[in-house]
Amino acid sequence: MTGSTDMRRVFVADLGGTHLRTAVVDESGRIQFRAKQQTPPAESAQDIVTVLVAAARECDRQSAAAGFSISAISVVAPGTVNVPAGSIIKVPNLPFLSGFNLAGAVSHELKRPALLENDANAAAVGEMWRGAARSRRSLVCLTLGTGVGGGIILDGKLWHGAHHAAAEVGHMCVEPFGGVTCTCGSRGCLEVYASATAIVRMTSEARSRYPHSRLQTDSELTSENIFRAGVAGDELALEVFRQMGVYLGIGLANLINILNPEMIVIGGGVMNAWQLFEKDMNREVNERAFPLLADLVKIVPAECGDDAGLLGAAKVAFDRDEETQ
Ligand SMILES: [Zn+2]
């Protein structure tokens, strides 16, 4: 037996571009029955519903064996979602989901309330609930992964915006002159300088200036081995992370001046290279943000890792449940 039987529990699913991660989370934030699979090759919205329902039913079976039940379903997706309607507006990796009421379809099959949220928003909630921002009320959470995601929490509440697409901090412009083209259609976005994809591109672009770099011989450049080269003192890798830190710091200074958050939490895979970009990031923040705000804000690494989205998904479902009672 794990945990008390009168505690609420929700089934959570993090529908990523590469992996589908699922689990059951209880009210104390304990994660049970976690599973991770490749995001299945889906061709229709119904394919996604089928996979989510099968994963939830498996968790139902395991929960029943442990003597408790699952009261709600919460799904997070990497794109723009209409939270009140439970529908997908746009998920670039799964274009056939546009306009689909995913929460409604899953709720209908599983006969329980279901909720849909954006993955970076959920990660921000996860960090506030069980991570680096515990007891904070106003924060910005950046997720530096394949892209750059963002979640903004003001006075304890996620800021969704008038049309459900707020907190796209990865698409604020940090390089107006000759900025690299971004997938969003703009140029010079933070995402093209601070994501894992950007680290690889910047390394490749700067390579010819560093003929003695160990990255000259790496046939496959990944952000992970560029990070390892940086830790080993490779000048090319160090230069790329210094640049990345500058761009990130410019973005953070903008966020600090506009929102005056208590804390900025930085997660995602690129966060592992914190020691390589921290100094340049902090210098830009101190040079560009209002001194009072820059002194008071705490800029910290995320603590929940890959679980931030799952935890946040659970927390928004528990909160919704309380609001509707
Ligand atoms: Zn962009």
* pLDDT at residue 1, rounded to an integer: 45
Of 220 and 269, the one with more pLDDT: 269
Domain for residue 2, yes or no? no
Write out pLDDT tens, residues 62-75. 999 999 999 999 99
Q: Do 312 and 169 share a structural domain? A: no
Domain for residue 317, yes or no? yes
State the Cα angle at 151 between 147 and 157, rounded to 5°.
170
Domain encompassing residue 243: 134-302
Write out pLDDT tens, residues 28-79. 999 999 999 998 888 899 999 999 999 999 999 999 999 999 999 999 999 9
What percentage of the chain carries pLDDT values higher than 70? 98
Position 254 confidence tier, pLDDT thresholds 50, 70, 90: very high
The CA-to-CA distance between both ends of the chain, in Å, stands at: 28
Q: How far is it, in rounded angstroms, from Cα 94 to Cα 17?
A: 8
pTM score above 0.85: yes
Span 304-323, mean pLDDT? 95
Q: How far is it, in rounded angstroms, from Cα 195 to Cα 269?
A: 9
Structural domain count of the chain: 2
Output the domain CATH number for residue 66: 3.30.420.40
Q: Do 268 and 160 share a structural domain? A: yes
- The answer to whether the CB of 30 falls within 8 A of the CB of 318 is no
Q: Closest by alpha carbon to 52, among 62, 66, 37? A: 37
* pLDDT at residue 315, rounded to an integer: 98
Domain for residue 15, yes or no? yes
Task: Please provide the average confidence, as pLDDT, over all residues in the chain.
Answer: 95
Ligand 1: distance of its center to the CA of 190 in Å? 7
Span 78-100, mean pLDDT? 95
Distances in Å between the Cα of 40 and the Cα atoms of 43, 231, 235, 308 are 9, 35, 40, 22
Q: Do 114 and 175 share a structural domain? A: no
Position 93 confidence tier, pLDDT thresholds 50, 70, 90: confident
Q: Do 187 and 143 share a structural domain? A: yes
Domain for residue 295, yes or no? yes
* pLDDT at residue 66, rounded to an integer: 94
Q: Do 144 and 109 share a structural domain? A: no
Q: Do 144 and 232 share a structural domain? A: yes
Q: Do 211 and 147 share a structural domain? A: yes
Ligand 1: distance of its center to the CA of 150 in Å? 13
Give the dihedral of Cα atoms 73, 74, 79, 83; nearest 10 deg.
Answer: 90
Helix axes 223-231, 196-206, angle to 10 degrees: 70
Ligand 1: distance of its center to the CA of 123 in Å? 20
Ligand 1: distance of its center to the CA of 257 in Å? 21
Write out pLDDT tens, residues 147-177. 999 999 999 999 999 999 999 999 999 999 9
Q: Do 84 and 215 share a structural domain? A: no
Domain for residue 217, yes or no? yes
**3-class DSSP state of 275:** helix
Q: Do 202 and 141 share a structural domain? A: yes
R_g (Cα) of the chain, nearest Å: 20
Q: Do 282 and 159 share a structural domain? A: yes
pLDDT(225) > 60: yes
**CB atoms near residue 2 (< 10 Å):** 11
pLDDT(244) > 80: yes
- The answer to whether the CB of 232 falls within 8 A of the CB of 265 is no
* pLDDT at residue 293, rounded to an integer: 97
Domain for residue 129, yes or no? no
Ligand 1: distance of its center to the CA of 217 in Å? 31
Ligand 1: distance of its center to the CA of 175 in Å? 11
Residue 120 parent element (H or E): helix 119-130
Domain for residue 23, yes or no? yes
Ligand 1: distance of its center to the CA of 119 in Å? 17
Distances in Å between the Cα of 304 and the Cα atoms of 31, 263, 271, 279 are 12, 15, 12, 23
Ligand 1: distance of its center to the CA of 294 in Å? 25
Domain for residue 3, yes or no? no
State the Cα angle at 229 between 226 and 233, rounded to 5°.
135
Position 5 confidence tier, pLDDT thresholds 50, 70, 90: low
Q: Do 276 and 251 share a structural domain? A: yes
DSSP annotation string for 145-161:
SSSEEEEEEETTEE---
Q: Do 99 and 21 share a structural domain? A: yes
